[in-house]
Amino acid sequence: MASTTAQLADRCLLPGFVGTRAPDWVRRRAAAGLGGVVLYGRNVESPEQLRRLTDDLHSERPELLVSIDEEGGDVTRLEVRTGSSYPGNLALGQAGDLELTRAVAFAMGSELAATGIDLDLAPDADVNSNPANPVIGVRSFGAQPALVAAHTAAFVEGLQGAGVAACAKHFPGHGDTSTDSHLELPVAAEDPRLGALEPFRAAIAAGVRSIMSAHLLVPVLDSVPATLSHRILTQLLRDELGFGGLVITDGLEMRAISDGVGIAEGAVGALVAGCDALCIGGGLAEESIVDELRDAILEAVRSGRLSEERLAEAAGRVDSLAAWRAERQPAPAAQRGVGLEAARRAVQVEGPVRAGADALVVQLRPGASMAVGAVAWGIAPPALSFDGPPVDVDGVLRRAEGRGLVLVVRDLHRHAWQADAVEALLARRPDAVLVEMGLPARRPARAGSYVSTFGAGRVNGQAAAERVLS
């Protein structure tokens, strides 16, 4: 039986919601043909609770796509309260073992499959060519296109080998930017064909089931954001790169779209450009936003701006991904130990770093990006923690008198207040151990004892603590 235009529009929507149980409106719309939902940390309390939630959602319609943004490392929804059991991409790139990357992704996929997740919005396939990038950083496998491409393909193979669909993001590449698309419209000045496209080519060759568009401007390709660009999403991604799977938008409420064309116009423009599934719900998680987007889509069809054939094509790709997931065999139990193994292999140590079990641990905590959110991180419960200036340097030194001192930072190169505090402390305690849990782009000259974890997942911190606090 053919779907109505309204049903096709519903199939293209992937909203979010608040709470650890599905609201009545979500269940009702799921039963009526909603394409899927996106889960966030606010929806997860435990694996058992998550399985009950996904079972309830799938009981309304088995084909509903339940998705989550689980990258490992800094970006986790499954373990938002404790930090991830798996290192993030930069640590995997640093370890430099494709089989290890594949194994980590397979273990993560097995865990996701066991909780009823159909689609993981990972891996991040961006080449982090700009160290000042505030939103990618350690979420990338690295700064070299070939390395990122190889690990992206391995991650896709591991995740999908466990039966969970992967999503390479953010097309055509978010690494060459210096602003966060959650807050404004970034600009990628470099031609993606010079390197940024290479990981996406590798992901497509590896059979990736979905690709996420980036809310950024690429002037060499088009004058509108990539999510709204027919040139980028259809001519480049579909026609040139040959991708036939599902194209998903990044969150439409991100200000790169919402402050520009607006959310409803963004939804319509994305479908016209070639997107198939529309993500909404990170910030706007009420039924009213679903009504607004569906109404905008229906009006676009009525006016002739969006053809019903394009809408049906988009809905069909959502259905195809759901059918692929239904055909997967149950994955084996997750082997979480591979995450700590990978984190240990990534740690880089320079100089004498054993500060002892009684060392004073001081954590300098910059604000996290919206993509990361409020996730626990560090190498141990800190004795002192500072979320910004001023840092009580004299107080720290008094507390550390007669014992080791460990300074834990994250992206020192991007936060002047951290750098100033570290310099002041190292000037008086040159024996202090500096642990960088972000991008290791700035090592102070006085830091003779330096540890790089290449990410801030729980296992990254555990691997560093084994080297520093033993």
Active site members: 182, 250
Q: Residue 104 in contact with residue 158, Cβ under 8 Å?
A: yes
Torsion angle defined by CA atoms of residues 111, 323, 157 and 166, in that order, rounded to the nearest 10 degrees: -70
Query: Which has the closest alpha carbon to 347: 230, 241, 465, 188?
Result: 465
* E-assigned strand segments in 200-341: 210-213, 246-248, 278-279
- For residue 211, give the 3-state DSSP assignment: strand
Strand 360-364 relative to strand 405-409, pairing: parallel
CA 149 to chain centre: 17
Rounded distance, CA 192 to CA 233, Å?
13
**Rounded to whole angstroms, what are the CA distances from 36 to 202, 227, 317?**
27, 19, 12
Structure tokens at 367: 């604000």
| Bridge partners (DSSP) listed for residue 386 | 364
10 Å Cβ neighbour count for 54?
Answer: 22
Please list, in sequence order, all residues whose beta carbon lies within 8 angstroms of the beta carbon of residue 123, skipping any fewer than 6 positions away.
Answer: 71, 89, 105, 141, 151, 152, 155, 156, 159, 166, 168, 169
Measured between alpha carbons, how far is 380 from 458 in angstroms, rounded to an integer? 10
User: What CA–CA distance (Å, rounded) separates 345 from 460?
Assistant: 10
Q: Which helix (H) or strand (E) holds 238?
A: none
Q: Strand ranges (DSSP E) for 28-121? A: 36-39, 65-68, 119-120
Distance from chain centroid for Cα 188: 19
Q: How far is CA 99 from CA 105, 159, 172, 311, 329, in A?
A: 10, 12, 26, 39, 22
**DSSP strand E in 57-201: where?**
65-68, 119-120, 167-171
Q: In this structure, what token pair is assigned to residue 293?
A: 């987007």
From CA 142, how far away is CA 147, in angstroms rounded?
7
Those residues whose C-beta lies under 8 Å from the C-beta of residue 127, and which sit 6 or more positions away, are 140, 142, 143, 144, 145, 148, 173, 175, 176, 195, 196, 198, 199
